[in-house]
Structure 1
Amino acid sequence: MRPDPALGLLARYDEVLPQVYGYLLARCRVAALAEDLTAETFLAAVAALRKPGAPVLTVGWLIGVARHKLADHWRREERERRGLVALDGEAEHVEDPWEVHLDVMAAHDVLAELGPHHRAALTLRYLDGLPVPEVADCLGRTVHATEALLVRARGAFRKTYQGKEG
């Protein structure tokens, strides 16, 4: 009988848990949701590690699993509610660091108001810095559909953000 390959994850759990949870919390900004997604991430990681040809256990790989779990959550949320708003905004250069902080908070609030598919696309593209083809892969869309989604999402973000400023 061979040892369970998922035991390597158990051995590193205390080390990697804060990184995975921190990644998710920074993107969804809801502690309970981040906790649930972290649990889903580790369950998926255990299942993947038990399969033949399992990937090498690294923090980067776990963050990738977490990214997919977050995208899955947003997709589920999108299916549940189809009334969607979109996102885009470009921060102006401000000398006062407090103003920058307030703008970042406002941008996160606007992002939280957006529909899940817009929020997912913008988060993956601009917060995670993924190129459009990788965003498309994460969202299960074509590159052209993702580019169109990003255009709509940026426009909706801009409209919502400017509405908050007024």
Structure 2
Amino acid sequence: MNREQIRPDPGPALLALYDDALPQVYGYLLARCGRRALAEDLTAETFLAAVTACRRHPPPPLSVGWLVGVARHKLVDHWRSVEREERGLRAVDEVTEDVEDPWEGHVDAVVAREVLDAQTALHRAALTLRYLDGLPVADVARTLGRTVHATESLLARARAAFRRGYEGGAR
């Protein structure tokens, strides 16, 4: 066995990072999905994915930021899965509306969370990535596996659906 075949075990580095990263990864996920059980499941999936990634050669550079990125991908994968299930259960007739006017006014965080939870998984993913995570549309498109144009249309529909739900629930 030569020196190139002997690699240091990344396990202890991941364990050392775990204590610092766990509250941040869990907090990131909980703030975006709003459900403790789901945030816990996705946090576990994130760290399992980190263990798998550490077994690759070369292992990724371990950091809290990297783990939050893995968590973001796990959350998007969850939303995609939910969207596929919803699509399989019912046909969705989405109205295409190109609303470009900014929505001004005060947004109640509790009502906004309820309205966001009531949106389809794809709308929730797009709105969260764009407005909570602050990603540019091109990055949202890349993360969701869509074209920029399709993502702009999706965001327009998602904003319109959110607005309808918010205005209907706020009354």
Show the counterpart of 1:135: 140
Q: How far does the alpha carbon of each residue in 1:45-86 deviate from its partner, in whole angstroms, 9 at most, with x for none?
A: 111122123321111111110000000000000111125689
Q: Note the aligned Cα RMSD (angstroms).
A: 2.0
Aligned residues: 157
SS in 1 for 2:82: helix
Task: Name the amino acid aligned to 2:24.
Answer: Q
Alpha-carbon distance in structure 2 between the residues aligned to 1:134 and 1:7: 33
Alpha-carbon distance in structure 2 between the residues aligned to 1:78 and 1:48: 27
1:32 to 37, 51, 54: 37
Alpha-carbon distance in structure 2 between the residues aligned to 1:60 and 1:90: 32
Show the counterpart of 2:54: 49
Alpha-carbon distance in structure 1 between the residues aligned to 2:53 and 2:104: 40
Structure 1 segments of 4 or more deviating over 3 A? Answer: 83-86, 88-91
2:131 to 118, 126, 130: 126
Are 2:23 and 1:18 aligned? yes
Task: Name the amino acid aligned to 2:21.
Answer: V
Q: Are the aligned partners of 2:17 and 2:64 in contact in 1 as well (CA < 8 Å)? A: no
Sequence identity, in percent? 64
Alpha-carbon distance in structure 1 between the residues aligned to 2:22 and 2:7: 26
Residue correspondence of structure 1 range 56-95 to structure 2 within 5 A = 56-82=61-87, 83=90, 90=103, 92-93=105-106
Alpha-carbon distance in structure 2 between the residues aligned to 1:54 and 1:151: 40
* Length-normalised TM-score, structure 1: 0.87
Task: Name the amino acid aligned to 1:64.
Answer: G
Show the counterpart of 2:3: none
Q: Which runs of 5 or more residues in structure 1 are unaligned?
A: 94-99
* Length-normalised TM-score, structure 2: 0.85
- Which structure has the larger Rg? 2
